[in-house]
Chains A and B, each alone.
Chain A
Amino acid sequence: MDIIELRQVTKRFGTLTAVDELDLNVPAGTIYGFIGPNGSGKTTTIRMIMNILYPDEGNILLFGKKHKGQRLEHVGYLPEERGLYKKMKVYDVLKFHGELKNGKNLKQEIQYWLNKLDLQAWTNKKVEALSKGMGQKLQFIATVIDRPEIIILDEPFSGLDPVNSEILREALLELQKGGASIIFSTHDMNMAENMCDYIFMIHKGKKVLDGTLNDIQDQYGNDTVRIQTEQGAEALEDIKGIEKINDFGQVQEVRLNPNVDSQTILAEVMKKTRILRFEVTRPSLHDIFIRIAAPERKEDNHA
């Protein structure tokens, strides 16, 4: 069953079409990653799902029903830019949000989540005393305090250090195991690759990718080679058949022109230097993102 459905949804701001005839189906119990460049329409889509903005055209169904004009029950939402009452204490602010969402067993839930996200020492401190990362974790707790069935997070990992990102990732996976459906937008492609069952990419208001990572990578075929040589990126210069080089320093990721055999490239490189590693692979999400979002910036183009 699809827990969220968007049918031909369009939203305009003046002359700008922020979201253009968007169709999207989010199956229950999955994690759906929203990716896309800044200003592509991710937040607008999320706000429309949340009923904060209304679409100009099309329909949005949650739990199979239209919700226009109503507040959503059992939906947790973490906006991109976050705010909590600074003068309130951590416990009070969670209780306040829990009550607004009709949460059950709030006292236990608050203790549970504060422990889980390593904030228990701050229970009676004011929100203004928290660091940015701690504030973000607190905001996350406020979002999930009532154990919502749908959790929508706008860039939940931005600004978190690796330890806290990991804590948050575990918390999300736990919620998914508990039956929640999760949507989050992110610029962290690794996180999207590792966590999401489905990935959706929006660019200039239009859907450009939608499916599992496998499906998406299949669309782009095995046109990518990861190479590590003694000479580094230099060895790859002036080799015919290479469309683009992504130089990561120690390793280079090479995109081949269509119909070029990777063995030819291997032979060419071998003539120039010793090869430490040569791996024919599918493009990473990062690469796919860049191919879509920045086709005009074809640096190192050797076509």
Chain B
Amino acid sequence: MHKTLIIALREYKAAVKTKSFILGLILMPVLMGGGMAAFMLFKDKVDTDDLKIVVIDHSKLVREALQERARLRNEKEIFDQETGEKVRPAYVLEFIQSDSTDPFKQKLDLSNRVRSGELHAFVEIGPSILHPDTILENTLIRYYSENAFMDEVRYWFTDPVNNHIRQLRLSEMNLSPEETKDLFYWINIESMGLMEVDKKTGNVQDAQKTNELQSFLVPYFMVLLMFMLVLMSAIPLLTAVMEEKMERIAEVILASITPFQFMMGKILGSISVSLTIAAIYIAGAIITLNQIGQGDMLPYHILPWFFVFLILFVIMTGSVMAALGSACNDNKDAQNLQFPAMLPVILPLFLLVPIMQNPTSSLATWLSMFPPFTPTLMLVRLATPVTIPAWQPYVGLAVVIIFTVFSVWMGGRIFRTGILLQGQKPTFANIIRYALWG
């Protein structure tokens, strides 16, 4: 054990004392949160050139309403309230008559004007929008542009058109807007957690209002953090072991310790590295969220699970990576093995959304009991506000412990043979041979 610790300490120092580690520590949250930060930062920095949109109004009903709404928007909404600076484009609407002789030619010409950049888009309002008839086409509003689906101008049309025709319909029924105010009051459904009894005081606690942060961001970031920690600590063992083998460092060290002590020392080093990073980030998150008054959002009750699963995940992945690294002879071998070896770590990330949406489904339950996926998927299920059956995390834990012991045993056998064997390709057959017969 003593010698394993010496190896672990060296690995830890070698990993933590480098500039790239400190840089990675800073860069990881920047990269993780970077997309979001960039989105927030550049959200308002859109092109402010005026957008010209041609409208063909077959219904002849909404022209004034649209023009009025565009005028209001262009006067007020496109300027920054404090600085008075123009921050959004103005919408310039041009109404034209439909060409009844050759409507296709007219739309083709308009399309070409959009392509040339002269127009942003053109809109065709169906003739029967006020009283929809059986011909669906006549009741639609069609928005034509280069990227219509993602175009936010498209959404802008919905409101003025629908509001106006709604008023027209009410007028036809001789109802005044005051009388119908409540008619269109839309009631939202608030998402709530469940009532709980405080274990200390015995009082019944009111249910908490759940929100996006709790039901989506917390599990998501927990899993992403675990993934990044494994990526920074266990995955690099593959190339590290390969290099030690190629540079004959391993043979020198193996004169003093057993291959198993060597491998476990390296894995223990990886665990320490991952725990260091985890402690820094989680402490950072606790301090930050408390500062901005969101401290309640942190799922303190799953932190122990997080650390237990993290340690097992690093041991499990680390022993596989070290074993594979010991079977490699050069960088090319290592590169070829890296991706397939990482698949079990990456795959659960693609399953996150369906599992977060329905953590108690049988898909979620079974996948979270599959040992390579358990650390990430069981954690997601624990982190969502939904309560999963209490026995499941413990069964998951037992399964992972058994699988981890198996990985270490198997990895140790492969490592013992591979680390001193030069010139053998790391084929599947060879690796199995090392594992079974040493």
Residues of A within 8 A of B (CB): 47, 50, 52-53, 70-72, 75-79, 81-88, 96-97, 99-101, 139, 142
Known: A81-B251, A83-B247, A97-B256. 7 other contacts (CB 8 A): A52-B251, A71-B261, A77-B252, A81-B248, A83-B250, A100-B6, A100-B7
CB contacts (< 8 Å) of B65 on chain A: these are none
Partner of A77, one of B3, B250, B255: B255
Interface residues of chain B, those whose CB is within 8 Å of chain A, are: 3, 6-7, 10, 14, 244, 247-258, 261, 420
B10 touches A87 (CB 8 A): no
Residues on the A chain within 8 Å of B10, using CB: 85, 88, 96
Which residue of A50, A70, A81, A88 is within 8 Å of B255 (Cβ)?
A: A50
Partner of A71, one of B6, B249, B256: B256
- A52 to B248, alpha carbons, bound, how many Å? 13
Once bound together, how far apart are the Cα atoms of A215 and B7, in whole Å?
Answer: 46
Least CB distance, B9 to chain A, in whole angstroms: 9
Partner of B252, one of A70, A75, A84, A99: A84
Question: Residues of B contacting A50 with CB < 8 Å?
Answer: 255
Decide: A99 and B420 in contact? CB cutoff 8 A: no
Chain B residue with the shortest CB-CB distance to A96: B10
Contact B255 A75 (CB under 8 A): yes
Contact A52 B244 (CB under 8 A): no
Q: Known contacts A52-B420, A100-B6; is A83 also within 8 Å of B255 by CB?
A: no
What are some 20 contacts across the A-B interface (CB < 8 A)? Answer: A47-B420, A50-B255, A70-B258, A71-B261, A75-B255, A76-B255, A78-B252, A79-B248, A82-B248, A83-B247, A83-B251, A85-B10, A88-B14, A97-B252, A97-B256, A99-B6, A100-B3, A100-B6, A100-B256, A142-B252
Q: Contacts A71-B258, A100-B256, A100-B257; is A83 near B249 (CB within 8 Å)?
A: yes
Given the complex of chains A and B, what is the CA–CA distance between A47 and B247 in angstroms?
Answer: 17
Asked if A79 contacts B251 (CB within 8 A), the reply is yes
Q: How far is the CB of B434 from chain A (nearest CB, A)?
A: 14
A142 to B244, CA, bound (A): 17
The residue of chain B having its C-beta at the shortest distance from the C-beta of A142 within the complex is B252
Distance from A224 Cβ to chain B, minimum over Cβ atoms (Å): 40
List the A side residues contacting B420 at CB < 8 Å: 47, 52-53
Q: Considering the complex of A and B, which 7 residue pairs feature the smallest CB-CB distances, nearest first? A: A83-B248, A77-B255, A83-B249, A83-B247, A100-B256, A81-B248, A79-B251
Q: How far is the CA of A75 from the CA of B256 in the complex (A)?
A: 8
User: Which residues of chain B have C-beta atoms less than 8 A from A78's C-beta?
Assistant: 252
Residues on B with C-beta less than 8 A from A70 are 258
Q: A83-B248, A84-B252 are in contact. Are A96 and B257 (CB under 8 A)?
A: no
Given known pairs A100-B3, A100-B6, the reply for A83 and B244 (CB within 8 Å) is: yes
How close is A70's CB to chain B, nearest CB, in angstroms? 8
Q: Is the CB of B254 within 8 A of A100?
A: no
CA distance A72 to B258 in the complex (A): 9
A79 touches B6 (CB 8 A): no
CA A248 to CA B3, docked complex, whole Å: 53
Closest to A82 in B: B248
* Of B7, B252, B254, B258, the contact of A139 (CB 8 Å cutoff): B252
Look across to chain B and name the residue whose beta carbon is closest to the beta carbon of A69. Answer: B258
Of B250, B251, B252, chain A has the most CB atoms within 10 Å of the CB of: B252
How far is the CB of A90 from the nearest CB of chain B, in Å? 15
**With A81-B248, A82-B248, A83-B249: A52-B6 Cβ-Cβ less than 8 Å:** no
For A88, list chain B residues within 8 Å (CB).
Answer: 10, 14
Q: Is the CB of A85 within 8 A of B249?
A: yes
The 8 Å CB contact of B257, one of A71, A81, A84, is A71
> CA separation between A185 and B255, bound complex, in Å?
17
Report the bound CA distance from A82 to B254 in whole Å. 12
Chain A: minimal CB distance from B327 (Å): 17
Give A126 to B329 CA distance when docked, in angstroms. Answer: 26
A78 CA to B248 CA, complexed, in Å: 11
Inter-chain contact B256/A101, CB cutoff 8 Å: yes
Chain B residues with CB under 8 A of A77: 252, 255
Chain B residues with Cβ below 8 Å from A82 are: 248, 252
A79-B255 contact given A53-B420, A84-B249, A100-B6, CB 8 Å threshold: yes
Is A52's CB under 8 angstroms from B252's CB? Answer: no
Task: Report the minimal beta-carbon distance from A68 to chain B, rounded to whole angstroms.
Answer: 12
Tell me, in angstroms, the Cα distance from A86 to B247 when the chains sit together: 10
Closest A residue, CB atoms, query B18: A87
Contacts of A76 in B (CB 8 A): 255
Min CB–CB distance A293 → chain B (angstroms): 24
Per the bound structure, the CA–CA distance linking A101 and B249 in Å amounts to 15
With A and B bound together, what is the CA distance between A53 and B438 in angstroms?
Answer: 11
From known contacts A52-B420, A85-B14, infer whether A100 and B253 are also in contact, taking CB-CB under 8 Å: yes
Q: How many Å from the CB of B266 to the closest CB on chain A? A: 13
* Assembled-state Cα–Cα distance A86/B255 (Å): 19
Tell me whether A79 and B252 are in contact (CB under 8 A): yes
- A72, A96, A139: most-surrounded residue (chain B CB, <10 A): A96
Closest partner residue, chain B, to A87 (CB atom) = B14
Residue among A75, A87, A100 with the most chain B CB within 10 A? A100
* Bound-complex Cα distance A259 to B140 (A): 119
A98 to chain B, nearest CB (A): 10
Q: Which residue of A lies closest to B247 (CB)?
A: A83
Q: Kindly name the residue among B14, B244, B253, B256 whose own CB sees the greatest number of chain A CB atoms within 10 A.
A: B256
Q: How far is the CB of B4 from chain A (nearest CB, A)?
A: 10
Could you tell me the distance between the alpha carbons of A135 and B78 in the complex, rounded to whole angstroms?
70
CB distance from A130 to the nearest CB of B (A): 14
Chain B residues near A75 (CB, 8 Å)?
255
Complex-state Cα separation, A44 to B420, whole angstroms: 12
In the assembled complex, the Cα of A99 lies from the Cα of B250 at a distance in Å of: 16
CA–CA, A101 and B3, complex, Å: 9
Given A81-B248, A84-B249, do A52 and B256 touch, yes or no (CB 8 Å)? no
A83 to B258, CA, bound (A): 17
